[in-house]
Structure 1
Amino acid sequence: MYVPAPPTGVLWGRLPTRSTPPVAVVDSGAVVTIDTISHEGVLEDQGQDPLGYFTGLGVAPGDVLSDAVEVARRTPHDGPGPHVVTGPIAVRGAEPGHVLAIDVLDLQLRVPYGVVSNRHGKGALPGEYPEAWESRADLRRWFNAGGEISVFTPARPGPGGLVGALPAGQGEVTFPLAPFLGIMGVARDTDALVDSVPPTDAGGNLDINELGVGSRLYLPVRVPGAMAFAGDPHMAQGDGEVALTAMEGSLRATLRLTSIPPGGPAPRAAFAAPFAETPTHWLPIGLSDPDGAEGGGNRTELDLAMKDAVRRAMAFLVQDRGMAEPVAYAYLSAAADFQVSQVVDRTTGVHGLIRKADFGVA
C-alpha cells in the first residue's frame, strides 16, 4: 500500500491520539510505502514557503516537493512541535497489550538536499548559540528570515555512496548519508493534544540513528489499531543531535507493520517500553521522561535517560536472554555500549547497543 502525504493526510506539530481518524487501514504484516515531509523549508521562520525558500538557495523548482508546498499552504500548524507527521495507519487486529513491530525495509531520498538548523533557546547549548553569532556580519548567510540558523546541505554521490557536503575553509567537508526516520510511533491513549517533540513510551521523536534500513522498532500498543505514524525524516545525524536538528530531508519509507500479541515473537521487554534491534545489535531505549511532559536536555535529564536505558537493558538480558542479574549487570559494564540518542527534544534519549554475536545470534 502507498500512503502519500497530502495536506489532509498529515498532522503538523502534533501526534495522533486515540480519536484521530486513520488515513489508511492495513492487515497485520502489511508492507506500506509512506511519503514523509521534512519540516525544514515549511516552517514559519523560513517563510512557510518551500518553493521560495529552496529556490532562493539555488534548488531547481522541479526539486521542490509539491506536497510540501501544499502542506505549507493548507495544513494547519495546530500543534506546538515543528514536525510534519504522516498518518495514522490503523493495523487490523492490533490491540492494547500487543506490540507493534515496525520493520524498516527501504528509505529513499525524495530530494537531493537537506537542512541542519539551530534555533534560539534550543539545542545542546541554548542561550549560547545562535545568540553569539547575531552581530557577526560574516555569518549572516546562515540566518534565515526569522532570525534562526538554517544550514542548507546538498546531497550528492561520493566515493562510497551518497554524502552531505558543507563548506570548510577554502574547501568542503563531506560525510556519509545514513537515512532514518526520526519519528516512528503509535497513538497514545488520550484525547489531549500530544506534542510532536518529546519522545514517549509510545515512541514518537526517538531520533535514534540506528533505525535505518534493516532495523526493527517495537512499540507497546496503547489503542485499538495501534495507529502508527512516521515523520521527521533524516538523511544523517550524529549521536546527540547537538545543534537541534539532524540533516533534515524528505524520505520515502517502506515499512512492514506487524501486530504481535503477548507471548508472540517479540522481546518481553518490548511489551513495557520501546525497544529496537538491527541485524547486529539489540537496542534497549531509555528516556528521561517517558510521559513526555517535561525535560530540558540537562545533566539530570541525561542521567535519568542513562539509568532508564540500563534498566531496560537489564530487563532484556534477564527476561529474554536468561541471565542472572549480577551477571547481566557485569556483562553490560564489560561489553555493551550506551549512546546518547539526542539531548535536544526536552525528553533526553539514551540507547544501548548489545551485540547479538556475543550470544551466538547471527
Structure 2
Amino acid sequence: MSIHSVRREQCHLAWDNSIPPAIRIKSGQTVTFDCVDASNGQIDASSTVATLGSLVFSRLDQVNGPVYVEEAQPGDTLQVDVLSIETGEWGWSALIPGFGLLADEFPEPELKIWKLNKDEGFAWFNEAKGIKIPLRPFAGEMGVARGVKGSYSTIPPYNTGGNIDTKHVTVGSTLFLPIEVEGALFSTGDGHAAQDDGGTAIETSIQVTVRLTIRNDRPYTKTPHFSTTASDKDEEYYCTTGVDSGSTATMSAVRHMIDFLCTEHQLKRTEAYMLCSVAGDLRLHEVVDMPNYVVGMMMPQSIFGGSS
C-alpha cells in the first residue's frame, strides 16, 4: 500500500479551491498528516492565561493539505477511513472571552495545560479530586474544497465538511464527504485529545493517517455522513436537562450541569464549564412537542473518583 505524507508547513487557513495541492494521490491510497494544534503554535506547554490576550485569531484553525485525489470529480463522494491518530504529549483548553455557549456568563479568560498520559489513555483534570478524562483523539477538521470560488474561513463547518468537530469520527470510523471540485482537495487538522458533543476540546497536535477512496455510488451524500463503532459500553451518566426553545434549552442544560458540578464536586464555575466542554455530552432528548425541546447535558460518572 502506497503511503504519502503532508508536512506541518503544508497548511492553509481557508477553504479555497484555488489553493495548489500539497500532494497528489490515487484513489485508495493512504496519507499521513502531521498537524500542529489549533492555535497554530501560538500556545505551548509553558503558556499562561496571559497568552490568550495576544492570540492572533486569523491564524487559528489551520488545516493541512490539500490532497488532490486523481479520480475525484464533482458529484462523487470521498470516503475517508480513519486508520490511526497519535496526539502530542500535552494539550490545552481555554475559555476565550466572546466564545462558547455561555460566553456572556464567563467573560474572563482561562487556560488549562494538560499532560496527556498516552500510555494509560487519560489526562488529569484535577488529580486531587480524582477527576480524569479518557483520551479519545480525533481531528476536528476534515473536509474538501467547496465548489464556489473564493476564500472561506475554516472556523464554521460546511456541507463539504471542515470544522465538523465530531468526536465519533475517530480511529476505526469512516467519513463520507460530497465532492464539489475536481480532485476533491481534502484537508484535515485541529487535533483533539478529547471533547464533548458540541463544546471545546483538549487541543493538541496530531499525526493522523487516513485512506482516501473515491465513491461514485453515493449520490445521496450531500453533507458529511459517517459510520462508527463507538459505543457507551454501559457507561453511567448523570444528566441535567433544559426545557425550552432549542438554543435556550441547550444553555439551560449546561447551566444546570455547572450548578451540579459546583455543588457535588466542589468545582469553581470556570472549572465546571470547562469540564462540560471536554467530557459532557449534549443530546436532544425530545423535539416533537413544540415549541419546547428537551436537551440533556450528560456527564459520564467514570471520570470521577479516579486514583493516581
TM-score (norm 2): 0.68
Which runs of structure 2 are paired with 1:343-362 in the superposition (5 Å)? none
Query: Shift of residue 151 of structure 1?
Result: 0.9
Q: Is the 8 A contact 1:187 1:223 kept in 2?
A: yes
1:218–1:299 distance in 2 versus 1, CA, 3 Å = farther
TM-score (norm 1): 0.59
- Return the letter of the residue paired with 2:214: S
Q: Does residue 1:32 correspond to 2:31, yes or no?
A: yes
Quote the RMSD (CA, aligned, Å): 2.8
Q: Does residue 1:277 correspond to 2:227, yes or no?
A: yes
Query: Shift of residue 302 of structure 1?
Result: 9.0
Match of 2:92 among 101, 106, 115: 115
- Return the letter of the residue paired with 2:97: H
Q: Is the 8 A contact 2:7 2:64 kept in 1?
A: yes
Match of 1:3 among 5, 17, 34: 5
- Return the letter of the residue paired with 1:278: T
Which runs of structure 2 are paired with 1:93-108 in the superposition (5 Å)? 93-108=71-86
- Return the letter of the residue paired with 1:233: G
CA distance in 1 between counterparts of 2:85 and 2:191 reads 9
CA distance in 1 between counterparts of 2:230 and 2:134 reads 20
Which runs of structure 2 are paired with 1:64-83 in the superposition (5 Å)? 80=58, 82-83=60-61
The residue that corresponds to 2:259 in the other structure is none
CA distance in 2 between counterparts of 1:89 and 1:10 reads 11
CA distance in 2 between counterparts of 1:89 and 1:6 reads 14
CA distance in 2 between counterparts of 1:223 and 1:302 reads 38
Query: Shift of residue 193 of structure 1?
Result: 1.5
CA distance in 2 between counterparts of 1:191 and 1:121 reads 30
Structure with higher helix content:
1
> Which string of whole-angstrom CA distances, capped at 9 and with x for unpartnered residues, describes residues 280-337 of structure 1?
69xxxxxxxxxxxxxxxx955699xxxxxxxxxxxxxxxxxxxxxxxxxxxxxxxxxx
Query: Shift of residue 279 of structure 1?
Result: 3.4
Q: Structure 2, unaligned stretches of length 5 or more?
A: 49-55, 232-243, 250-281, 285-294, 296-308
> Which string of whole-angstrom CA distances, capped at 9 and with x for unpartnered residues, describes residues 124-171 of structure 1?
101111x2xx4xxxxxxxxxxxxx32211111157xx31011226x44
The residue that corresponds to 1:353 in the other structure is none
Query: Shift of residue 4 of structure 1?
Result: 3.5
> Which string of whole-angstrom CA distances, capped at 9 and with x for unpartnered residues, describes residues 188-242 of structure 1?
013322111111100000011100101011011000000000011111011121x
1:2–1:55 distance in 2 versus 1, CA, 3 Å = farther
The residue that corresponds to 2:165 in the other structure is 207
The residue that corresponds to 1:248 in the other structure is 203
Q: Is the 8 A contact 2:8 2:35 kept in 1?
A: no
CA distance in 2 between counterparts of 1:36 and 1:302 reads 35
* 3-state SS of paired residue (1:156): coil
Q: Is the 8 A contact 1:181 1:234 kept in 2?
A: yes
Q: Is the 8 A contact 2:40 2:61 kept in 1?
A: no
Query: Shift of residue 117 of structure 1?
Result: 1.4
Identity of aligned residues (%): 29
- Point out 4+ residue stretches in structure 1 off by more than 3 angstroms: 298-303
Which runs of structure 2 are paired with 1:133-144 in the superposition (5 Å)? 134=108
Match of 1:166 among 125, 131, 140: 125
Q: Does residue 1:224 correspond to 2:202, yes or no?
A: no
Query: Shift of residue 115 of structure 1?
Result: 0.6
Match of 2:102 among 125, 129, 133: 125
- Return the letter of the residue paired with 2:209: T
1:6–1:238 distance in 2 versus 1, CA, 3 Å = closer
Q: Structure 1, unaligned stretches of length 5 or more?
A: 58-76, 135-147, 282-297, 304-337, 341-349, 351-362
* 3-state SS of paired residue (2:7): coil
Q: Is the 8 A contact 1:184 1:229 kept in 2?
A: yes
* 3-state SS of paired residue (1:127): helix
Q: Is the 8 A contact 1:81 1:195 kept in 2?
A: no
1:199–1:299 distance in 2 versus 1, CA, 3 Å = farther
The residue that corresponds to 1:310 in the other structure is none
CA distance in 2 between counterparts of 1:80 and 1:55 reads 22
Q: Is the 8 A contact 1:183 1:232 kept in 2?
A: yes
Number of residue equivalences: 233
* 3-state SS of paired residue (1:211): coil
